[in-house]
């Protein structure tokens, strides 16, 4: 296919599996490849965004980084869906809780994603689009959480374009039942919807925006394995 390799992914068609588990941090991707994949082969290191393909329980799976923010995950997942014929993408990442009942270390299965991004404007829709997860993936993720005994909540997240902001209005999102804030799931779900493919976001609460409780960068990189367990359980 003439579209591969792309400007951002150095793989050729066939080197990436039809299911990709993605994380923002490429070092988290390297960790997943070493922990969960057998015979992992590096297929991408363009811009330092690592990607590997291997097998998990006999099934071919890829893992890859997507960087920080909606524009970054928007580029990578668009190319994976549309140029590499990827069918399913699962994001595993960190999020900040805005609910008292959701604690550091808990998992969030994001069935929907609010956003303050203008990403949907490109589709020129006559209204507001609601980005949602694939129901089958979400259901299997919840079942996996229950099977492992992992604390989790299911519902809406906020995919915010701003990490540092003058006024986050977290109290307003909290009153609407939004569980946590992250930066990429809405754009992933929009790309999946437009391509007719499958997507799910699973997050670990890394900090609490109400209480100030937080984890270190090293802990986020190497110890947030529960969401990875769930992701790999539901794909293979």
Residues 142-187: tens digit of each pLDDT: 999 999 999 999 999 999 999 998 887 889 999 999 999 999 999 9
Q: What is the pLDDT of residues 59-101, one digit of tens each?
A: 999 999 999 999 999 999 999 999 999 999 999 999 999 999 9
80 domain residue, yes or no: yes
Provide, rounded to the nearest whole percent, the portion of the chain with pLDDT above 70: 97
Residue 231, in any domain of the structure: yes
Q: Residue 4 falls within a domain, yes or no?
A: no
In a domain, 103, yes or no: yes
> How many domains are contained in the chain?
1
Residue 172 to residue 119: CA distance in whole angstroms: 21
Judged by average pLDDT, the poorest of 84-88, 217-221, 222-226 is 217-221
Domain holding 105: CATH number?
Answer: 3.40.50.1580
Is 207 designated active site?
yes
Range of the domain at 195: 19-235
Residue 93 in domain: yes
Tell me which of 161, 207, 229, 233 is the catalytic residue. Answer: 207
**3 state DSSP class of 76:** helix
Question: Would you state the pLDDT for residue 1?
Answer: 46
Distance separating alpha carbons of residues 82 and 191, to the nearest angstrom = 9
Could you tell me if residue 142 is inside a domain?
Answer: yes
Q: What's the pLDDT score for residue 91?
A: 98
**Alpha helices per DSSP H over 56-184:** 70-83, 135-148, 170-175
Q: What are phi and psi of 105, to 5 degrees?
A: 95, -20
pLDDT band at 2 (very low <50, low <70, confident <90, very high): low
Query: 88: part of which helix (H) or strand (E)?
Result: strand 88-97
Task: Give the whole-angstrom CA distance, residue 179 versus residue 174.
Answer: 7
Asked if residue 179 belongs to a domain, the reply is: yes
Tokens, residue 230: 């769930």
In a domain, 3, yes or no: no
Report the C-alpha gap between 188 and 78 in whole angstroms.
8
């Amino acid at each position: 296919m003439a579209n591969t390799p792309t400007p951002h992914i150095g793989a050729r068609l066939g080197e990436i599996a039809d299911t990709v588990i993605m994380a923002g941090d490429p070092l988290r991707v390297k960790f997943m490849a070493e922990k969960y994949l057998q015979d992992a082969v590096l297929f991408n290191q363009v811009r330092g965004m690592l990607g590997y393909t291997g097998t998990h329980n006999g099934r071919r799976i890829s893992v890859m980084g997507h960087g920080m923010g909606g524009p970054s995950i928007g580029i990578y997942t668009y190319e994976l869906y549309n140029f590499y014929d990827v069918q399913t993408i699962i994001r595993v990442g960190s999020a900040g809780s805005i609910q008292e009942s959701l604690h550091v270390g808990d998992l969030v299965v994001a069935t929907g994603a609010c956003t303050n991004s203008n990403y949907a404007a490109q589709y020129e829709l006559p209204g507001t689009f609601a980005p949602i997860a694939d129901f089958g993936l979400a259901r299997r993720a919840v079942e996996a959480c229950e099977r492992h005994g992992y604390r989790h909540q299911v519902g809406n997240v906020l995919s915010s374009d701003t990490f540092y902001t003058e006024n986050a209005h977290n109290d307003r999102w909290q009153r609407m039942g939004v569980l946590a804030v992250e930066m990429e799931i809405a754009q992933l779900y929009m790309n999946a919807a437009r391509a007719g493919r499958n997507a799910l976001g699973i997050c670990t609460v890394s900090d609490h925006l109400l209480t100030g409780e937080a984890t270190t960068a090293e802990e986020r990189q190497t110890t947030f394995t529960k969401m990875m367990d769930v992701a790999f359980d539901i794909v293979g």
